Amino acid sequence: MARQRTRVSRKSEFELRAMRKSGRILAELLAEISAAAQAGVTTRELDNLTRQRLREKGAEASFLGYRDYPAAICVEVEDVVVHGIPDGQRLEDGQIVGVDMGVFCEGMHTDSAVSFAVGELDAERRRLLEVTQAALEAGIAQMQVGSRLREVCAAVQSVAEAAGFSVVRDLVGHGIGRQIHEPPQVPNFVAEGQFAEYDLILRPGMTLAIEPMINAGTPAVRLGADGWTVRTADGRPSAHFEHTVAVTREGPEILTAI
């Protein structure tokens, strides 16, 4: 069977400059939103704050209107893996919460997510946060010129599974740039034969959104009746970290860091 070659765009220095700007706005805003996410705050208030700040900065929310998604951010409370729609739900102490956001600025998108504690977490939730962040960092470290995408996927998976957690299979990371979702798909696991992308050789100017979604229990997920909210099938907590990262000759450049 002829293998489809994955066409992955390589960004010019001009495009990378725009993504750095977009990514900086995103990183600063994500820090502000995480700090605001205290017990008693509703997820809609976080969305409203995001919209206000983006207006002030002259940037746009990548997610709003994307496939009719109705908000600027996704909020991932406890067993919500991804794509939680902001609403009147109030955050509570002891919850693990993720915020996922995309920013569009000067023609380019960046995408980032962070998970954090509201109040004090139990030991398992704390470890889930640490391990998921470490899995993202391990994946990013493999984003070297000449490496195969498989090395990135394998690094994320091994950190998560060595800690006894599970990697969500039904959702993956992605290329990003002029579009919020571009080729290649970036799985957080290696299942040979399932993705042609594993063989992709990383080249300077490729920009990828690496986003491990790691569950305390089963990797299985369920889609909610709203058509968006993805939850763990067993109701146990999930964590999600994401950065937009450029492959450069000097190594991986995280575009969504402050």
Q: Which of 163, 141, 160 is nearest to 152 (CA)?
A: 141
Nearer to ligand MF3, 7 or 67 (CB): 67
Q: Where are the beta strands (DSSP E) in 38-107?
A: 60-61, 73-77, 80-82, 95-105
Q: Give me the 237-256 binding string for Co ion, x by CB under 5 A, dash otherwise.
A: --------------------
* DSSP code string of 140-187: HHT--TT-BHHHHHHHHHHHHHHTT-EE-SS--EEE-SSSSSEEEEE-
Which of positions 119-178 make contact with ligand MF3 (CB under 6 A)?
Answer: 174
Give the list of residues 6+ apart from residue 229 with CB closer than 8 angstroms, or none.
80, 83, 84, 85, 223
Stretch that binds ligand MF3, among 2-10, 15-23, 66-74, 143-151 (CB under 6 A): 66-74
Stretch that binds Co ion, among 51-59, 69-77, 103-111, 230-238 (CB under 5 A): 103-111
**What does the alpha-carbon distance between residue 66 and residue 70 come to, in Å, rounded to a whole number?**
8
Please tell me whether residue 63 binds ligand MF3 under the rule CB under 6 A: yes
Tell the smallest beta-carbon distance from residue 66 to ligand MF3 (Å).
Answer: 4
Residue with the shortest CB distance to ligand MF3: 63
Pick from 101, 209, 221, 246 the residue near Co ion by CB under 5 A. 209
Binding site for Co ion (CB under 5 A): 111, 209, 211
Residue ranges that bind ligand MF3, judged by CB under 6 A: 63, 66-67, 69, 74, 83, 100, 111, 174, 242
